[in-house]
A = this chain, B = another copy of it.
Amino acid sequence: MRTKDRVKSQDQHILNLAEIVGGSRSILYQKEDLLAYDCDGFTIHKHLPKAVVFPKNTQEVAEIVKYCSENNLPFLARGAGTGLSGGAIPLNGEIIISMVRMKKLISVDLENRRAVVEPGFVNLKLTNSISDKGYYYAPDPSSQYCCTIGGNVAENAGGAHCLKYGVTTNHILGLEVVMPNGEIVEIGKDGIPDAPGYDLLGLITGSEGTLGIVTKITVRVLKNPEGKQTVLAYFDRVEDGSQAVSDIISAGIVPAALEMMDKTAIEGVEAAAFPVGHPKDIEAVLLIEVDGIAAGIGEQIDQILEVCRKRNVREVRAAGSEEERARWWANRKTGFGAMGAISPDYLVQDGVIPRSKLPEVLSRISQISGESGLRIANIFHAGDGNLHPLVLFDARIPGESEKALEAGSQCLKVCADVGGTITGEHGVGIEKREEMRFVFTEEEIAAQTEIREVFNPHNLLNAGKLFPSPSRCAEVKKEMKAQAIS
């Protein structure tokens, strides 16, 4: 057979998988090819997969999954590989099921405000496909120009405009999922606010690829807001900037986005691809966008400016054109990568805090920076209290990677201690497994792993992610079972 001829592996599994996906152009199995798949956006852990397969449709995904299950081969799904917590890293030499060829926009139904996409469809393309008709897809992670909606579902991705519009889970109306035994199920009914039965849609969304592989997604699309205004507000003191954030929200204003960058972050973004001329000597900048009915925009901006003035804002700029606004957003959205301009390496963290704790937490992060001797930049979704401390380090200096990981973990501890949590949108993945203990008891973790077992009893799908090392959990589970009344 032609397929088998062309795949030159000695490994029967590779040959069989190649046959499922239709030949050598749909499978990678040689080391030099696999190297590109040894990590995702979390680059600190690396592992080679056994192979990467590229199915074209749900049926092929189901056959691959069935084959892996029957042959006890670990497997996981991968979108664009932009995830920041290591969710797509093949820790156990997995078969990676790449979803990039399942990238169709299946249908758009503007009357009922929904669209159906394949998981490999790129986030920004959805908005681009419907913007001429006045609609858009709200969740906008900074990687939206290349990340896939399937990956967004796995990680329950957020983005700058999630303050007003909610994260991915708030926009998912239905899913088709290949379960770990290869069964294809439809979960959720299109557009139903409170569907009968348990909320499996919510359970699958954000489960970081540990419960099933999503093969079709029905999303909500929104009408473009009639009006929009964007301002930059510069503060001499970081406390004033963070207090202004807290005040804006307490005043009852819900901006579409309310982003903050501190001095170190500004140094980075101004040295990178999209400088916008932020003053060099300020301590904090807020990027504030309001949208909605045109007639109400001016009033909201006036209220925001009044709050900023009370908090000693030095200067405020309003975007004069759509082009200027787009540039400001490019400056912000490429901010993580921009750290490369001022540091050989960086580690991004992702904690969440009650907004009112912002001044306190930023000051504690600054202490951690001092103690570790590493600079920490802050670029974040201030409006919803979702912090992104960026720990700057140099991996070539022995011990500095470990120091950065430790400083990142300390930042998460601070977030947990003030009543927040350890991830707002990047997920737990490999990176924050141990930090799960900052926010969950052993019993709570054990209960969650039991849910994973219902879906994924042989733990072949994306094993080793999301939960801390199982030793203690296993003990707890045994105790729980012993205590259970029979």
Contacts and interface: CB of A to CB of B under 8 A. Distances in A.
Interface stretch (A53-61, A163-171, A319-327, A395-403): A163-171
A196 B454 contact: no
28 contacts: A70-B485, A111-B250, A111-B356, A158-B193, A167-B193, A169-B199, A179-B447, A181-B480, A192-B421, A193-B352, A193-B384, A194-B423, A194-B425, A195-B352, A195-B423, A196-B423, A196-B432, A196-B440, A197-B436, A197-B444, A197-B466, A198-B203, A198-B206, A200-B448, A200-B451, A202-B203, A295-B299, A458-B486
A424 interface: yes
- Chain A contact surface mostly: loop
A439 B196 contact: yes
Given A70-B485, A295-B296, A196 B436 contact: yes
A162 interface: yes
Interface string A383-425: 0111000000000000000000000000000000001111111
A442 B242 CA distance: 52
Interface in A440-469: 440-441, 443-445, 447-448, 450-452, 454-455, 457-458, 466-467
Residue from A187, A193, A223, A441 whose CB has the most chain B CB atoms within 10 Å: A193
Contacts of A467: 197
Interface string A125-161: 0000000001000000000000000000000101000
Interface of A: 69-70, 72, 110-113, 134, 156, 158, 162, 166-170, 179, 181, 183, 185-187, 189-200, 202-203, 205-207, 211, 223, 246, 249-250, 252, 292-296, 299-300, 352, 354-356, 384-386, 419-425, 427-428, 432, 436, 439-441, 443-445, 447-448, 450-452, 454-455, 457-458, 466-467, 480, 483-486
